[in-house]
Amino acid sequence: MDLTELLMHFNLTRQEATIYKTLYSEGELTGYEVAKLTGISRSNTYTSLAGLVAKGAAYVIEGAATRYTPVPIEEFCENKIRQLHQIKQDLVKNMPVKKEDTEGYITITGEKNILDKIKNMLLEAKERVYLSVAQNTLTLILPELKDGLSRDLKLVIITNYSFELTGATVFQAEKPPHQIRLIVDSTKALTGDIPEGENASCLFSKNKNLVELLKESLKNEITLIDIMKGK
């Protein structure tokens, strides 16, 4: 993803993002100079510069000719993130009470959504985590796993490569490349496949039967690993 697309995630239009980049690398500029450098029509350039100022991405330097200077990228991003934190608090406080979950079976699609769910399950874990997953996926959730260990979670991992994580119990076994199975606090289960891209699909549930099924499956897998090691 290129810089323009990344900037657009911070609520800038494509032209605003383009102009922001130009201000960044060229320094203070008049609207006329910006239009020449970017090829954007002068009319739209002035509109977008006003938008950048209103959105906190640029400042005005008043003079014979008005010049614009970019807000440092760290500041601009942090300002937006700080605002979202504040909005999040307002939302959490004011949203209606969530209707209680049933013990249904929830389909989660898309690698990003699945990883988000896994990370949240790990961050909310209180006592125990059983995880069977391929190494490539394991690296993506390492920070959350470490966070869990620092909270004295019991953490059991089965993965396909030799892997060390102080405080965790790690077993090595052949894994299909994209498969994942996760149990948290014996109450939540997630199982499925995370190939790269939008084909990823997992099942998540708090259903007792599914949780028990997955626990048995993981325990048996661990037992088989021990037997094959001649213990």
Partner DNA sequence: TTATGGTATTCTTAATTAGGAACACTAGTC
Partner DNA sequence: GACTAGTGTTCCTAATTAAGAATACCATAA
3-state secondary structure at position 75:
helix
- ∠ Cα 78 6 145 (to 5°): 70
Rounded to the nearest whole angstrom, what is the least distance from the CB of residue 226 to its own copies in the complex?
36
CA dist 85 and 227 (Å) reads 50
Residue 101: contacted member of its own copies, DNA, none (CB under 5 to 8 Å, by partner type): its own copies
- Residue 33 in the binding site for DNA (CB under 7 A): yes
Question: Could you tell me the smallest distance in angstroms from the CB atom of residue 106 to its own copies?
Answer: 4
Q: Residue 172: beta bridge partners? A: 159
**Residue that is written with structure tokens 């100022």 in the block:** 53
Should residue 22 be labelled a site residue for DNA when binding is judged by CB under 7 A? no
Distance of CA 45 to the CA centre of its chain: 33
Does 116 participate in binding its own copies (rule CB under 8 A)? Answer: yes
Beta carbons within 10 angstroms of residue 125's beta carbon: 23
Name which position in 79, 172, 187, 217 contacts its own copies (CB under 8 A). 79
Is the Cβ–Cβ distance between 28 and 67 less than 8 Å? Answer: yes
Phi, psi of 30 (to 5 degrees): -85, 165
The one of its own copies, DNA, none whose footprint includes residue 228, by CB under 5 to 8 A per kind, is: none
Question: Is 201 near DNA (CB under 7 A)?
Answer: no
Distance of alpha carbon 188 from alpha carbon 60, whole angstroms: 53
Instruction: Draw the binding track, 169-208, toward its own copies (x: CB under 8 A; -: no contact).
Output: -----------------------------------x----
- Rounded CA separation 157/175 (Å): 12
Number of Cβ atoms within 10 Å of the Cβ of 105 = 12
Looking at 43, 102, 139, 209, which residue binds its own copies (CB under 8 A)? 102
Q: Which stretch binds its own copies (CB under 8 A): 32-40, 55-63, 170-178, 189-197?
A: 55-63
30 three-class SS: strand
Counting residues that bind DNA (by CB under 7 A) gives 21
- Footprint on this chain of its own copies (rule: CB under 8 A): 1, 3, 6-7, 9-10, 21, 24-28, 53-54, 56, 59-62, 67, 69-70, 72-75, 77-85, 87-88, 90-92, 94-102, 104-110, 112-113, 116-117, 119-120, 204
- Footprint on this chain of DNA (rule: CB under 7 A): 13-16, 30-33, 35-36, 40-44, 46-48, 64-66
